[in-house]
Amino acid sequence: MTDVAAPGASQVYTWEPSDRAIAERYGLRPEDILRFDTNTSPTPPDWAAAMLRDDFDPPLNEYPDSSYADLTAAAAAYLGIAPDRIVVGAGADEIIDMVAKAWLGEGATALVPTPTYGMYGVVSGQREARVKRIPRLGPDGGYGLDLGALLPLLAGASVVWLCDPNNPTGAREDPDRLLVLLDVAAAVPDRPLVVIDEAYAEFVEGSAVSWLDRYPHLLVVRTLSKAFALAGARVGYAAGSRAVIARMERVRPPGSISTISATLGAMALSRPEVARANATRLASEREWLAARLATAGWPPAPSVTNFLLVPLGDRSRTEAVAEHLLAAGIVPRTFPIDHPLADHLRLTVRSRAENERLLTIIDGWQP
């Protein structure tokens, strides 16, 4: 059953509380808080710390280069496409917001297969668009897209929001099913923009970037917050046809990425081997943690990302487990009571020592 939100109604999205707020609530020190809720890397890249310490002297008295030419060129080189097919932003969230500003407004319709990243519903609602949420297949279907429900809705839609691999399920969509969706979207009048958010692209092989020449109505969104381990820098980018990128540029803020962040982003993209090595390490740690959680009686759903989705059976148990973890300084990702994953926790894969601390706290759980 498709859930239709009235224009202007955005999906509820709860911003993460700060370390300090959590520490004050539970009588802990801020430095004792471990974030298992944000899907970030457990450590920053060594090269970035060294650069900021020793070799970096940006003109902080001046505004950033509003064209972000170096960052754009680095992203283009990383993806192997022309720079005029790239737009950059202050994190993937700003890219997502640009899409909403450029394609959505009162009377427009956005399609959001759920569960997925909450910001798609938020920005669509902020633009007074009608948000249609189409339930994904359940765990037995790998949380895949329900094409039978989704494809008939493409006609009349302005934007289709997809996340692959999907957050918060950790599952990857079958590429053949995505191609079916893109083909059907291309054939309808006033074809919608299909947005594929590849925030976790470095954890898997293959990318929708290879389809851009075939589908001019496709936009692929990327971030440096996950495998590149630069969440604090807030750098994102997207790739699409020249027409799509030109439309994005018309709503892009001229200086939202700081000079420091833009420089860090360009340097990170010129070191793709660092991100891939980090993704490989985290994938190995993910399998280790998943096995330990299963042994503890908390088997997670299969994941290809740097996080695990753990079903706990019912809402009351989920709330009690989350409170137990929080009291020990472990912050899990929980979901609102009306969310399809209200009886699940999402856990970021962190370092071995941090994951062992998580497991120790779990072992102390008494139902």
Q: Which two tokens stand for residue 360?
A: 């120790």
Q: Which amino acid is at 167?
A: N
pTM of the predicted model, to two decimals?
0.95
Strand boundaries in 115-230, DSSP class E:
130-135, 159-163, 193-197, 218-223
Nearest CA to 13 out of 103, 134, 112 is that of: 112
Segments in the chain forming alpha helices (H) = 19-26, 46-50, 69-79, 92-103, 119-126, 147-150, 175-187, 242-249, 259-269, 272-295, 315-327, 352-363
Number of H helices, E strands in the chain: 12, 12
Nearest CA to 224 out of 279, 144, 288, 285 is that of: 279
The residue assigned the tokens 């971030």 is 223
206 sits in the region (left: phi over 0; alpha: psi -120 to 50; else beta) called left
3-class secondary structure, 127: coil
Nearest CA to 200 out of 347, 39, 36 is that of: 39
For residue 79, the Cα-to-chain-centroid distance in whole angstroms is: 18
Per-residue pLDDT of the chain (367 residues; tens, 9 = 90+): 566 665 555 455 567 889 999 999 999 999 999 999 999 999 999 998 888 777 778 888 999 999 999 999 999 999 999 999 999 999 999 999 999 999 999 999 999 999 999 999 999 999 999 999 999 999 999 999 999 999 999 999 999 999 999 999 999 999 999 999 999 999 999 999 999 999 999 999 999 999 999 999 999 999 999 999 999 999 999 999 999 999 999 999 999 999 999 999 999 999 999 999 999 999 999 999 999 999 999 999 999 999 999 999 999 999 999 999 999 999 999 999 999 999 999 999 999 999 999 999 999 998 7
Question: What domains appear along the chain, each with residue ranges and CATH number?
Answer: 8-44+273-363 (3.90.1150.10), 58-271 (3.40.640.10)
Tell me how crowded residue 304 is: count the other CB atoms within 10 A of its CB: 16
> What are 193's strand-pairing partners?
159
Interior CA angle at 248 toward 101 and 218, to 5°?
100
